[in-house]
Each structure stands twice: as structure tokens, then as C-alpha cells.
């Protein structure tokens, strides 16, 4: 199960970056080209790579490059709970995946429903 970034969010990052690159090339301002290129790259990476995945019995938090940053053992939905717009790992109490700004709303709702499906303890 994956949790990805919102398509409008990633497209906006790429478009703003492309506009900065074009504007920098048109005006000869090289200081706009580098941030623009970084935003274009970020938009592409956020489109391709998820924020978090649950696979092989663990929740993996990932960065924009797709590298796993943190791992949390998860046997099922009872190991997680939703607090506001964050998913919290019950055993450690640490905040894990975001479910708010910039996150795909459909995937966030799937995560909420999956976590809510855990039997009450």
C-alpha cells in the first residue's frame, strides 16, 4: 500500500520550475535557472516516488529520491493510528506519514479506512 503526493502539487512544482528556467534563459538571469531546474527535478521525483509504503511487514518513510529514511514494524492496521493529519506508530508513539497538504487525497483516505478497520483493543 502506497501513499503518494498529489498530482496537482507535483505538476505545480514542475510548471513553476519550468517557468523559472524559461524566464532565466529569456532575461539572462542565471540565478533563476538553477532553482527552476531544481523545482522541475523535484516535481518529477515527487510524481514518481511515494511518501510512504507499507510492505513486508513494515511502514517505510521515503524521501523524494525514493530512498527509505525510516522504518516502522507494522503487522497490521492496529499498529497505526491517525491523529489529525498524521499517521502515528502506536508502539513508538512517533509521527510517521502525513495525510494533509500535498498528499493524494484518495490514497490518504484509503490509509485512514485501512487503519480504522483495525479491531478495537
CA 32 to chain centre: 26
The model's pTM is 0.83
The three-state secondary structure class of 86 is strand
Phi, psi of 20 (to 5 degrees): -65, -40
Averaged pLDDT, 89-109: 94
Cβ 50 vs Cβ 4: under 8 Å: yes
Question: pLDDT per residue over 13-58, tens digit each?
Answer: 999 999 999 999 999 888 999 999 999 999 999 999 999 999 989 9
Amino acid at each position: 500500500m502506497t501513499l503518494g503526493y498529489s498530482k496537482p502539487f507535483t505538476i505545480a512544482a514542475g510548471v513553476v520550475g519550468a517557468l523559472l528556467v524559461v524566464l532565466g534563459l529569456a532575461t539572462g538571469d542565471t540565478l533563476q535557472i538553477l532553482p527552476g531546474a531544481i523545482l522541475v527535478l523535484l516535481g518529477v521525483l515527487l510524481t514518481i516516488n511515494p511518501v510512504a509504503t507499507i510492505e513486508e511487514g513494515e511502514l517505510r518513510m521515503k524521501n523524494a529520491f525514493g530512498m527509505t529514511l525510516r522504518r516502522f514494524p507494522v503487522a497490521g492496521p492496529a499498529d497505526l493510528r491517525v491523529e489529525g493529519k498524521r499517521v502515528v506508530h502506536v508502539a513508538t508513539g512517533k509521527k510517521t506519514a502525513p495525510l494533509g497538504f500535498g498528499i493524494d487525497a484518495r490514497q490518504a483516505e484509503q490509509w485512514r479506512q485501512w487503519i480504522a478497520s483495525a479491531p478495537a483493543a
